[in-house]
Amino acid sequence: MSVKGFKEMDFYRKQVRSDCVELLSRFQKTDSVRFEVFSNIWREMKFSHIFYGTLNREKRAFSRLILDTAYSFFLPPFSFQIRVGGLYLLYCLYQCQTASPPEQIRLALKDWLDLSKFEKDAVDAQHLDAVYILRQLMFQKAFNFTAMPTVLVYKKKRKVEKSAPCEEFMERATRPQELINIELLEELSNIHELYGNLKSSVSLTSEQADPSFNLVRKDLIPQLRSTVMDFYKWQQRKDGTDEDEDSDEGTSSKQECSKRAELIASIKSKAFGEAAEAPKSRRHRQVEVNQTNYEAGPSHSSGYSRRNKPSLKTRTNENLYISGDLWKEVTTATHISRLTTLDFVRKDPRIAQGKTS
């Protein structure tokens, strides 16, 4: 396939994934794992039309892309219902594809344990629809058992963009509730009591009591049970807040629009109420705007008054401080200055007249 074909397939991948997410989200709202419910949603969305419009040379590549996209929903960490929906989606897409012979579903070696565990869970829960569909795909040899989940090409330097996982399809964390049950709490309580008795017997026999004997927590079992209950309540509150946010989304958007309109109006009022500042190149022409002076009469005072900057000599004399003896040495002329300057001294006219007379 050419580079252009790869770019087109990447574009199709995003669109196909969005359609699959829409289908599975509708299936999730039914709270069912029956194939009949899924098939009704499939027919309502006319999902089989997804293969229409593809060219003959693109049928196989497009079928592989769709099956790989749907296969991602059949794997963990999605919930059991979403994985069942992904299995039904794979079955329907495999049956409706236009490529001949039909394109197989790539099943990587690392995913085989997840598939076996999924089948075992479905059999234990008596979800016969999912078990039948999975074994029907096996019977039709729809799976292609491979070493890697994607096709590897030699010297292929094409970066595949990873799509963001759908958080609403993720399975909720229920392992703490499943792990901490009544039988386990009773067993822990008996072991904890036996451990405390052994420590107390050792401390009585020894002459000096070890401070580590006082490290036994008496409220370990109740605290463990309360922690699990707090986690379960936190999950319930989080689900409730998410539903409230979805219901209040319309009202919050209206409030945001009204606040934004008020903010724009206040900015406009401030902008028109103040005089615009002139650029630096035209500040010598700027005139200060004064409403009271304008009403009383024209103002002859300029808003910009130029201030003469003191010279370097003046600033040096103001900032420089020299003591008395050093100041005399500085002010007296040196030998070098006398050689470089003219020795001109203005004589008194009265002394000059006395000499002539």
pLDDT tens digit string along 291-334?
444 444 444 444 455 677 788 778 877 776 555 566 666 556 55
Alpha-carbon span 33 to 147, nearest angstrom: 30
pLDDT tier at 13 (50, 70, 90 boundaries)?
Answer: confident
Ramachandran region, residue 31 (left: φ > 0; alpha: ψ -120 to 50; beta: rest): left
Of 19 and 321, the structure prediction assigns the larger pLDDT to 19
Number of domains in the chain: 2
Claim to verify: residue 35 and residue 140 sit in the same structural domain: yes
HSE of 25 in the Cβ direction (CA atoms, 13 Å)?
9
20-34, 64-78, 256-270: which range is least confident on average? 256-270
312 or 129: which carries more pLDDT confidence?
129
Is residue 139 situated within a structural domain? yes
Bond preceding residue 77 cis, omega within 30 of 0? yes
Q: Looking at the structure, do residues 96 and 221 belong to the same domain, yes or no?
A: no
In this structure, the answer to whether residues 133 and 155 fall within a common structural domain is yes
Domain-located, residue 142: yes
Residues 151, 183, single domain; the answer is: no
Selection from 41, 15, 16 nearest residue 27 by Cα: 41
Say which DSSP state 95 is in.
H
Residue 223: inside a domain? yes
Mean pLDDT of 133-160: 83
CB atoms within 10 A of CB 30: 14
Residue 271 domain-assigned? no
Q: What value does the mean pLDDT of the chain take?
A: 75
Within a domain: residue 163?
yes
Segment 253-266 shows an average pLDDT of 69
pLDDT of amino acid 357: 46
Looking at the structure, do residues 39 and 133 belong to the same domain, yes or no? yes
Instruction: Give percent of the chain with pLDDT exceeding 90.
Output: 30
270 in a structural domain: no
Give tens-digit pLDDT for 179-203.
777 788 888 888 888 887 887 777 6
**Domain-located, residue 275:** no
Same domain, 47 and 182: no
pLDDT at 250 over 70: no
- Read off the amino acid at residue 256: E
pLDDT given for residue 185 in this prediction:
80
**Mean pLDDT of the region 200-226:** 70
Q: Are 47 and 105 in contact (CB under 8 A)?
A: no
Same domain, 71 and 184: no
Output 208 or 118, whichever has higher pLDDT: 118
Do 8 and 120 lie in one domain? The reply is yes
51-60's contacts with Cβ under 8 Å and 24+ in sequence apart are 51/96, 51/97, 51/98, 54/98, 58/5, 59/97, 59/98, 59/99, 60/99, 60/103
Task: For residue 288, tell me if it sits in a domain.
Answer: no
Q: Which residue type occupies 18?
A: S
Same domain, 47 and 105: yes
Lowest mean pLDDT among 49-63, 118-132, 279-293, 327-341: 279-293
- Which residue range is the domain that position 138 belongs to? 3-167
Say which residues have a Cβ less than 8 Å from residue 231's Cβ, sequence separation at least 6.
176, 177
The answer on 38 and 59 residing in a single domain is yes
For residue 95, name the pLDDT band (cuts at 50, 70, 90). very high
**87 and 162 both lie in a single domain:** yes
Q: What is the pTM of this model?
A: 0.52
Which of 314 and 103 is assigned the larger pLDDT?
103
Q: Are residues 29 and 154 in the same domain?
A: yes
